[in-house]
Amino acid sequence: MRSPDTRPLMWKGCACWRGSLSVSEKEWSGKCTMTSPLRTTTFPSIFSQVPFVSTDILSTFAKKVMVEEETVKKRFPFFEAGLRRALIGEGTYKEFPVDQELIREQQYIRSFPIVIEGLIKVCRTDEAGKELLLYYLKAGEVCTVSLICCMDRTRSRVKAVTEEPTSVILVPVENLDQWLTRFQTWKEYVMHSMQQRFDELLETIESMAFMKMDERLEKFFTDRFRSTGAMVYEGSHQQIAHALNSSREVISRLLKQMERKGLVTLSRNRVDYAPLCDKSY
């Protein structure tokens, strides 16, 4: 007898040896549409029937689904059950390494990221290549500037880059409007996110207009601590200068001054700002 195909199942559905598996919202209520000319067997989980494939593969797939469902439920307990199912079923879960560009300036956005774990830097770049840090996205947050571009169907005005290993759920643009009418908690989440980002952008403008560079540098570290809880910055002085729209020489000089004051400890591509956090909080 011919042995079954043991290729891994895919999240959105796949073709199994002479059979097919269609994953939709039905499986969450314990039902799943499935056709196969081969015999089927009952699988105790989200599937009611499965084609004749390796139960190890099905078990691994089911565990992956349940883990992602629990992760989303833990991260977004305020989302209604239907929205969490839609987020898992219609979104795409992805993991990215450090310094991965998720959104580029002037690109049309086809899907927007919701952060599950990690940290994303959102910034603007001028013609000379200098960056201006706008805000950070941490776990449970969404980039509202990209949401606005999705609503207007315009090109992105910002770029988003991972600051540490990050996992996200990418949601197709067309779901944004649909979910606003289908789910009250999604509407509240988007409105709250927009208000939060607006307040942060006002802080950025105020710091540029009214604060000296040494004060902005301290704020850079304290904001990072407030967003992530981290007390160590892994990166070069040039990267900090880009984020603050300054030069490496200025940032290096100010960091030396902060070190003499006992606010930071400097080493190669590393700034320990725990003393500054202890002083500020």
Q: Which CATH number fits domain 211-280: 2.170.120.12, 3.40.50.1580, 1.10.10.10, 3.50.50.60?
A: 1.10.10.10
Other C-beta atoms within 10 Å of 27: how many? Answer: 21
pLDDT of residue 253: 93
Least confident span in 63-67, 173-177, 221-225, 260-264: 63-67
3 state SS of 205: helix
Partners of residue 137 on adjacent β-strands: 120
Place of tokens 């002085």: 237
* Residue 96: predicted pLDDT: 94
**Percent of the chain scoring above 90 in pLDDT:** 35
Residues 116-135: pLDDT tens digits?
999 999 988 877 777 788 88
Q: Which residue has the higher pLDDT, 53 or 142?
A: 142
CA dihedral 71, 74, 78, 81 (to 10 degrees): 50
- Mean pLDDT calculated for residue range 208-224: 88
Confidence of residue 80 (pLDDT cuts 50, 70, 90): very high
204 confidence band (pLDDT: 50, 70, 90): confident
As its CATH architecture, domain 87-208 has Sandwich (2.60)
Specify whether the backbone of 41 is left (phi greater than 0), alpha (psi in -120 to 50) or beta: beta
* Domain layout of the chain by residue ranges: 14-72, 87-208, 211-280
For the residues of 92-155, what is the DSSP string, one character each? EEEEE-TT-EEE-TTPBPSEEEEEEESEEEEEEE-TTS-EEEEEEEETT-B-HHHHHHHHHT-B
Question: Is the model's pLDDT at 32 over the cut of 60?
Answer: no
- What are the φ and ψ backbone dihedral angles of 97, each rounded to 5 degrees? -80, 180
Compute the mean pLDDT over every residue in the chain, rounded to the nearest whole number.
77
pLDDT confidence of 229, banded at 50, 70, 90? confident
The predicted structure's pLDDT at residue 161: 93
How confident is the model over 70-79, as a mean pLDDT?
Answer: 88
* Structure token pair of residue 14: 């796949």
Rg (CA), the chain: 23
pLDDT at 66: 52
- pLDDT digit string (tens) for 87-100? 988 988 899 999 99
User: How much is the pLDDT for 198?
Assistant: 87
State the pairing for strand pair 101-103/111-117: unpaired
What's the gap between Cα 64 and its chain centre? Answer: 19
pLDDT tens per residue across span 6-19: 333 333 333 332 23
Higher pLDDT, 152 or 90: 90
- How much is the pLDDT for 281? 63
Least confident span in 12-16, 169-173, 187-191, 210-214:
12-16
pLDDT category, 38, cuts 50, 70, 90? very low
Q: What is the pLDDT of residues 234-276, one digit of tens each?
A: 889 988 988 888 888 999 999 999 999 999 999 999 999 999 9
22-36, 145-159, 169-183, 223-237, range with the lowest pLDDT? 22-36
